Structure 1
Amino acid sequence: MAIYADYAATTPVDKEILKMVIDGADAFGNPSSIHKAGKLAKANLEKSRRDVASLLNASPAEIIFTSGATEANNMAIRGVVKRHHRPHIITTEIEHASVLNTFKSLTADADVTYLPAGENGVVDTTALRSALREDTALVSIMLVNNETGVMQPIYEIREILAGYDALLHIDAVQAFGHMAVDVKDLGADLLSLSAHKIYGPKGIGLLYKSKDVRLDPMITGGSQERDARGGTENGLWIQAMAEAMKRASDESTRRSLKEMQLKERFLNTLTVAEVPFEVNGDVNQSASHIINLYFPWSQAEFLLTALDMADIYLSAGSACHAGTLEPSHVLESMYGKAERSTKSIRFSFSYLMTDEDIEHIVEALKDIYERLMK
């Protein structure tokens, strides 16, 4: 039986949520229409918006539904840059590709400073203090790194930014459902989320935008989403995301405890099996569901292929880069251009997994290691 351990890349849609979508398919009206079918769709849409806002400690008017976190990140970054004349922006070297590549495309429009991460996987806040300027318009940073699982010092960053006018954009995609995500507590001006990381469908996400923040729309068209994003809203997927967020929030403690137990069992069992490895980043500062390991005895490409042949599904890092077999930019920021970035694998766990799954993964790794050492 196949074992999936790549839940940071995507998750299966919760079967109850899938049933909810199928059952709700008859309410297919356009939320902008004024007839009863449209009004029903609009009511469902706005209920979902209220539910999501409540989970984030935001107001409904601060929620913009998008096609996913990539669009939400683009909307936040491009929206801020567009309202300033060549602003100064601060981000980190370990962000997701949807953030880094957006900044790379804006080199003519913004002055971007990239902060490094230490070997513990944590961004250097001293470097942030040094980088801040009077014209800094935005600081964009993830809450949990998608490759290492290391949590970033958002609360310290929030305090540092208190003396500046810079907005704080947080990519919270890998955090929601694994830790508290309260936009007021985090000090977020902008925050991105995705449904498919929390057992919801792909193709739906959101951007929290504080009522005090003004952004020019990235997608123009109709007046949907309070003129923030043109295009007919994907009502059923929005309802599915709201339900996925509610379940992830309600079950956060139970799910995270199970994931942490699986992660600890994995590390302990791998150690007992005498398979050489090192943890990338500080395991004590990592989220419950992600661990990134360096295997000095094998290239990640070979190891992933061997595991795939054993029906164990993993990635070297971000799914947006996994098919390219490039060295991890996250690990290069942490450790330099060393072999570590090409000999490391991300394991991401779920409350759906079992202890037996962990045993099988370790057995497969041990078998591959012993064959290579012969």
Structure 2
Amino acid sequence: MPKQELYFDNNATTQMDKSVLNAMLPYFTESYANATSNHLFGLSVGEAVDESRENIATFIGAQPKEIIFTSGATESINLAIKGLQHYSKKHIITVTTEHKAVLDTCSFMEHCGFDVTYLPLNKEGLLDLNLLKATIRKDTLLVCVMLANNETGVINPIREISKLARKNNILVMTDATQAIGKLAVDVSDLGIDLMPLSAHKFYGPKGIGALYVSAAAKIKLDSQIHGGGQERKIRSGTLNVPGIIGLGKACEIVSAEMDTNTKQITILRNHLEKELLKIEGTFVNGSIKNRLCNTTNICFPGVNSEKMKLALQNISVSSGSACSAVTTEPSHVLKAIGLSDAEALSSIRFSLSKFTTADEIELVIQKVTQVVAELRQKNN
């Protein structure tokens, strides 16, 4: 009989909530019309899309017209940043620990004539606001800082960053992919102009996401996908109706469950972390105070994380971003907050979900403790 799968890689993707799946199913087989068709069948499906858009907007404190549907956070990030190429200001400020989707897109913008400043962070993974202030120039167009880091879970002071940006007439984009569903996010309160999100990070389907575009900021984005202009003439392509319905339902569910989930997950994460830190030499990477409730990134000195993942067998954990998992290079995030190559290559991220149980936590504690001891013994 196969061993029970113990899934502790929820920052990479989450298990879909069955209620989300049930909400989506009719739009594969019964309500299958194109949402932009102008016959009654299409109009009825279009109404369901509109309802989902409203649910998403309400969830993040936005207006429905400010929600652009995309294939996911990576596309949303590309649209948000590349879509600003026509602006006369040509300076972007971001940080070294951003997701590769932001860093690679910023690199592309450098080839298009933009100047990009990559700010360092302190050992807790937090941005020095005085450094940001000193970096702002007259031609600074955009500040890109993620709301919560995908590897360490560290939460950035977006509200303070936005206040500083607004004083200087600078746009703010925050990648909220990891934060949505774990933190209460209100775009108006945080002062955000552009915000990508992705359904599969909070119990929704893969292949669907959205980009919030502030109406108040009067942002004009250049299209990256041309065609029918289905999404406010900014993003073309036949709408992924089942995915959109799933995204809306996922927002509805996590909104109702967030307080309960946060308390439950925090208790489990703290117990897991407390027990694993009993292993000699271990330490947490990044801020312990300012982070997501579900994430702990722990360094196990003297143990190679790739060998550890193989030895853990049925326990799924991560040694970096899922989007960078094809490489064996040390995490750019952990390197950026001061870890050595050896320390970064000895670190494991454990990320929990609402489906994680206390029994699973105990099994992981037992197995990780055993594996670390065995691997260290082999190295001696």
Identical positions, percent: 40
Matched with 2:170 is 166
Q: How many residues align?
A: 370
How far apart, CA to CA, are the structure 2 residues paired with 1:296 and 1:271? 12
2:122 corresponds to which of 118, 128, 133: 118
User: Matched residue of 1:292: which SS?
Assistant: strand
311-320 or 364-373, which deviates more:
364-373
Q: Is the 8 A contact 2:23 2:249 kept in 1?
A: no
2:246 pairs with 1:279: no
Matched with 1:203 is 207
2:374 pairs with 1:371: yes
201-210 or 35-44, which deviates more:
35-44
Matched with 1:302 is 307
For residues 319-340 of structure 1, the C-alpha deviation after alignment (integer angstroms, 9 at most, x for no partner) is 0012312110001110154422
For residues 8-42 of structure 1, the C-alpha deviation after alignment (integer angstroms, 9 at most, x for no partner) is 00001111211221133311111221111111111
Matched with 2:63 is 59
Q: What is the letter of the counterpart of residue 355 of structure 2?
A: L
Q: Per-residue deviation at 1:358?
A: 1.1
Q: What is the letter of the counterpart of residue 225 of structure 2?
A: I
User: Matched residue of 1:47: which SS?
Assistant: helix
Q: Is the 8 A contact 2:295 2:349 kept in 1?
A: yes
User: Which consecutive unaligned segments of at least 5 residues does structure 2 have?
Assistant: none
Matched with 2:329 is 326
Q: How does 1:338-357 map to 2 (within 5 A)?
A: 338-357=341-360
Q: Per-residue deviation at 1:174?
A: 0.7
2:190 pairs with 1:180: no
The alignment's C-alpha RMSD in Å is 1.3
Q: What is the letter of the counterpart of residue 10 of structure 1?
A: T
Q: Is the 8 A contact 1:293 1:346 kept in 2?
A: yes
Q: Per-residue deviation at 1:85?
A: 4.2
Matched with 1:289 is 294
User: Matched residue of 1:196: which SS?
Assistant: helix
Normalised by the length of structure 2, the TM-score is 0.95
How far apart, CA to CA, are the structure 2 residues paired with 1:291 and 1:337? 19
Q: Is the 8 A contact 2:330 2:341 kept in 1?
A: no
For residues 152-190 of structure 1, the C-alpha deviation after alignment (integer angstroms, 9 at most, x for no partner) is 011211221121111000100111111111010010000
2:142 pairs with 1:138: yes
Matched with 2:109 is 106
Q: Is the 8 A contact 1:147 1:330 kept in 2?
A: yes
Matched with 2:264 is 258
How far apart, CA to CA, are the structure 2 residues paired with 1:119 and 1:175? 21
360-369 or 142-151, which deviates more:
360-369
Q: Is the 8 A contact 1:275 1:365 kept in 2?
A: no
User: Matched residue of 1:107: which SS?
Assistant: helix
Q: Is the 8 A contact 2:223 2:233 kept in 1?
A: yes
How far apart, CA to CA, are the structure 1 residues paired with 2:373 and 2:339? 29
User: Which consecutive unaligned segments of at least 5 residues does structure 1 have?
Assistant: none
Q: Which runs of 4+ in 1 moved over 3 A?
A: none
1:227 corresponds to which of 233, 237, 243: 233
Q: Per-residue deviation at 1:223?
A: 2.4
For residues 295-335 of structure 1, the C-alpha deviation after alignment (integer angstroms, 9 at most, x for no partner) is 1020111111111x2x1011101100123121100011101
Q: Is the 8 A contact 1:90 1:113 kept in 2?
A: yes
2:318 pairs with 1:312: no
Q: What is the letter of the counterpart of residue 24 of structure 2?
A: V
